[in-house]
Amino acid sequence: GGGGGGAAVRSAERRYDLPPSGSSSEEESDSDEEKAMKPKGIQGLIEVSNPNRAADKKKKIDKVDTDAKVQLSRREREEIEKQRQQDAYRRKHEQGKTDEARRDLARLAVIRQQREETARKKEAERKAKEAAAAAAAAAKKK
């Protein structure tokens, strides 16, 4: 019954024969990085100023100019101007100084007048009915 124990020993030996799996890939990646870092041929001698590749320059908080006026983009300026114009128009409209406000007020005045007239007519009709009903009641009493 000792055959089972021998197989476990052989598999353990195989593991030690192979180099650890992580070390070989690490060595390859190190050599790749070294190759990428080394400039080839004349590239090391030529100094390239690529504005897209420039590293961000760190500013100290003391040196940051907080007093400078913030520059707005064209769209932002247009949006702010549009908002101001809308506010100014709304204020004039509320005061009744715009043409549209005058037309609205005139229309409202006409509607008010019509409603007053219909209210007067209804009141007159109601009084006439009351008078007729009172006359009919008086006629019945006689």
pLDDT in tens, 109-138: 999 999 999 999 999 999 999 999 999 998
Q: Using CA atoms in the order 37, 40, 46, 52, what is the torsion angle rounded to 10 degrees? A: -50
Helix (H) or strand (E) holding 45: none
The pLDDT tens digits of the residues spanning 38-69 come to 667 776 777 767 777 766 677 666 666 665 56
